[in-house]
Amino acid sequence: MIESKRDLSSLSAPAQAMPRVEAIWQHPIFQRELSRIDHLEADRRFCKHDLTHLLDVARVALIRLYELEIVLPRDVVYAASFLHDIGRAEQYERGIPHDRAGATLAAKILATLPSHAQFSSDEAHQILRAIRHHRSQAVPPKTCADMKVEDADARVCGTDANSDTQSKAKYDPSARFERSTAPEYGTDTALSGTLVPEDVLAQVIAWADKASRPCYACPAREVCKWPDERKNLSPSI
């Protein structure tokens, strides 16, 4: 028998709207870059970076956060997921690493959202850190200035990139998220150790980016450059 403290009739209720994510989706820069990526990856044999992937990352990240009993705003997780690969076309055409190009493009998007869909400077800071570091196993830096992408990042974070006085992100070293079990998948990008609050989004997006890929069913698996230890070789999430 299923037991729940909530009214199970809510299972059939419409999903909660996310106006801020909708604003990202409708933003002309986002639509332009996603179209460029779709065009450039039309004949790609390997994993694509289309809307399906962006949604997969968001949903897998939320599942993982739920498993770890960590609460982050759903639309902030979706925003980081939608934007984490937005620099792909710049990498394909201009050779700029897509994490760097993506952070620059995302900063411009976040800075020009409608007034009703603005993210706070703290939320924007976390989103940009997640984009800039979703390919890295290193812990992201603690200030917007450390991202060193372009001035747009500093403007979103409420600082001036040309100023000598950069405001520090809120950081309480005693406020750590503890977890009792380690994720089984992805040793290089799995959530590891204890997490300070501002590291959570960056690490879960990096983890979900890999965990969302069904490598076990990929027809290009044998020629993929990823070593087997990085591949998701069974349905696990």
In the block, which residue shows the tokens 């909530």?
6
Tell me the angle at which helices 51-67 and 197-211 cross, rounded to the nearest 10 degrees: 130
Is the pLDDT score of 173 beyond 70? no
Q: Point out the least confidently predicted range of 119-123, 128-132, 158-162.
A: 158-162
Q: What is the rounded average pLDDT of the residues 167-186?
A: 30
Answer whether residue 6 is part of any domain.
Answer: no
Answer whether residue 58 is part of any domain.
Answer: yes
Q: What is the rounded average pLDDT of the residues 176-183?
A: 30
**Vertex 7 angle, CA 3 and 13, to 5°:** 125
Residue bearing the bigger pLDDT, 200 or 33: 33
Confidence of residue 15 (pLDDT cuts 50, 70, 90): confident
Q: Are 175 and 201 in contact (CB under 8 A)?
A: no
Instruction: Quote the mean pLDDT of the chain.
Output: 76
Answer whether residue 215 is part of any domain.
Answer: yes
Residue bearing the bigger pLDDT, 100 or 224: 100
Q: Which residues pair with 195 in a beta bridge?
A: 177
| Long-range interactions of 14-20: CB distance < 8 A, separation 24+ | 16/74, 18/74, 18/75, 18/78, 19/75, 19/116, 19/117, 20/75, 20/79, 20/113, 20/117, 20/118, 20/119
User: What CATH number does the domain containing 221 carry?
Assistant: 1.10.3210
Answer whether residue 9 is part of any domain.
Answer: no
pLDDT of residue 216: 84
Domain that holds residue 189: 19-161+171-230
**What's the chain's length in residues?**
237
Q: Point out the least confidently predicted range of 20-34, 95-109, 189-203.
A: 189-203
Structural domains counted in the chain: 1
Confidence of residue 110 (pLDDT cuts 50, 70, 90): very high
Answer whether residue 69 is part of any domain.
Answer: yes
pTM of the model: 0.74
pLDDT of residue 170: 31
- Give how far Cα 135 sits from Cα of 139, 203, 219, Å: 11, 10, 23
Q: Are 25 and 82 in contact (CB under 8 A)?
A: yes
**Vertex 128 angle, CA 83 and 231, to 5°:** 60
Q: Say how far apart CA 103 and CA 127 lie, in whole Å.
A: 9
Is the pLDDT score of 142 beyond 90? no
